[in-house]
Amino acid sequence: GQNIDQPTEMTATEGAIVQINCTYQTSGFNGLFWYQQHAGEAPTFLSYNVLDGLEEKGRFSSFLSRSKGYSYLLLKELQMKDSASYLCAAPAGTALIFGKGTTLSVSS
């Protein structure tokens, strides 16, 4: 089966850096996704990692360690608009199994 864990809530201030962790246990590994979901909106794709290491996309970076079953999303130069839920997800066949999401609150 699949099990994905991530912290429920995090808070940070504008301009700061925050790291959102995700640990997973999957039967067969096929990569890891990160999605962002603003309140009342649909989730939007942020990143997909299938190999170990850090992938950077502007202010957002995602890291994967397959041997440790661990990933994190790094958000730099935080802005108020980054307040959202961040969802870690792993493929299971053609489905995506999501963690329960981490709600990030950014304050000024």
Residues that bind other proteins (CB under 8 A): 30-31, 33, 41-45, 48, 50, 87, 89, 91-101
CB of 75 to other proteins, least distance (A): 19
- Please, what is the minimum distance in Å from the beta carbon of residue 13 to other proteins? 26
Nearer to other proteins among residue 1 and residue 108 (C-beta):
1
Instruction: Give the contacts of 58 (CB within 8 A, at least 6 positions apart).
Output: none
Q: Compute the Cα dihedral for 59, 19, 31, 99 and give only its sign.
A: negative
**Spatial distance between the Cα atoms of 30 and 12, rounded to a whole number of angstroms:** 31
Is the CB of 78 or the CB of 91 nearer to other proteins? 91
Question: Residue 10 or residue 97: which is nearer to other proteins going by CB?
Answer: 97
Residue corresponding to tokens 């981490």: 102
